[in-house]
Amino acid sequence: MDPHIPFFQQVNRHFDKAARLTGQPAGLLEQIKQCNSVYHVAFPLKRDDGRIEVIHAWRAEHSSHKLPTKGGIRYATHVSEDEVMALAAMMTYKCALVDVPYGGAKGAVRIDPQQYSEAEIERVTRRFTYELVSKNFIGPGIDVPAPDYGTGSREMSWIVDTYTALSRNALDAAGCVTGKPLELGGIRGRTAATGRGVFFGIREALRDPAALAETRLDPGIEGKRVVIQGLGNVGSHSAKFMAAAGARLTGLAEREGAIHDEKGFDPDAVMAHRAATGSILDFPGATNLPTTEAALELDCDILIPAALENQITAENAGRVRARIVAEAANGPVTAEANDQLLARNVFIIPDIYLNAGGVTVSYFEWVKNLSHVRFGRLDKRFEEMSNRRIMQAVEELTGTRMAPGPLAVATAGAGEAELVDSGLEDTMIGAWREIADTRARYATDARTAAYVISIEKVARSYLDRGIFP
């Protein structure tokens, strides 16, 4: 992190820069910027060996202009109250930007999951859920967590089970969290959603004439040299989608180190090598880099930081050689580094847009849980029959018969996975078009444009409710 600048303050710097362009009343802007409430809890954990350890955890609800609030829960040793407040604020702006009807929230537990047994992590998760329930900080209409760094569908299943046992509204209890296993009310496509959204967002930027003019790149993803820092859920899926579109993955970084090969990597092969050896290092044909951070300084077209916040700082921003920095993580570029990169004409695709795929598909899961109907269940077969009747009419008019295989593809109805992917793609396309229009209107950068859009939408929500006459 840049010296003496807390994460929440860095987020507010972006907010302030955009707020000056909105013309909204100062008092309203101050209300939007503030974090409404933060809950800090400390509780005991009995370790497997009998020792007692005190666990610290937080839940921040930044804005309740729309309910429920929404945001992940991360498990990591570096978490703090300032971090959850910053991430909750970013969730407010992210949800507003992509028209997901939530306020922003975030949670964190200060543990390293790798240092705890599965039974210990389960006890931590269930106790934290109990604490949230007791203070009314969780519920389908109150605050809906999701997976984040260090958590996944396993932790979400423990949360929903604990919440259901404590809730008086068991019918809708599955909507208390998203990112659940399918068997507990999850949705197809959620695991890959953030990475798929990263792909859609980069694709849209590389279709935007103004962005292409700034980056001096040709349209399209194919052939672009891409470096990805972080191969967790977001980074690994981003790598797969980018490679499938023809990008050349020339650099990959994880906590154990980084590798480089101008010919490009097969992400599946790298992940298989890591599963077998415990490291991405020493991948056949690759060059090991001296540090993980060295990957951020590789010459490339697109740099995708997909790990944690504060990876590109005032100290190393001058050594970044990418044309585009695509923020798959939350806050990977500090406020000072952001200004340095813009001054050097590096194009930044902002986090509150680019990693919004996760919360978008979480919204679809929440709607599914509350409606108790799987997407596609009511109309998939009807759509297929309608398509078949159209194809039969075409065949009669032309006298040509389609082979069974192509006919099945042409007439297939959309199931849950197809509808989720389609909804996510439409969301990312529409949001980028708003950003592009706002950039042109104010002659500003993409991050500031995204914040302007978000602030205006949150402000309208307050004004429409008559809170600020």
Q: What is the CB-side half-sphere exposure of residue 335 using CA atoms within 13 A?
A: 17
Spatial CA neighbour of 28 closest among 465, 463, 464: 463
Among this protein's residues, is 106 annotated catalytic? yes
β pairing state of 225-229 and 300-305:
parallel
Q: How far is CA 134 from the centre of its chain?
A: 28
Which tokens belong to 109?
């537990």
The structure tokens listed for 221 are 């993803």
Chain position carrying tokens 């609800």: 61
Give the CA distances from residue 239 to residues 191, 212, 264, 424, 440, in Å, rounded to whole numbers and listed in that order.
Answer: 14, 22, 11, 18, 30
Identify whether the C-beta of residue 321 lies closer than 8 Å to the C-beta of residue 299. Answer: yes
Q: Distance (Å, rounded) from C-alpha 140 to C-alpha 356?
A: 20
Q: Which of 106, 180, 224, 380 is catalytic?
A: 106
Among all residues, which ones are annotated catalytic?
106
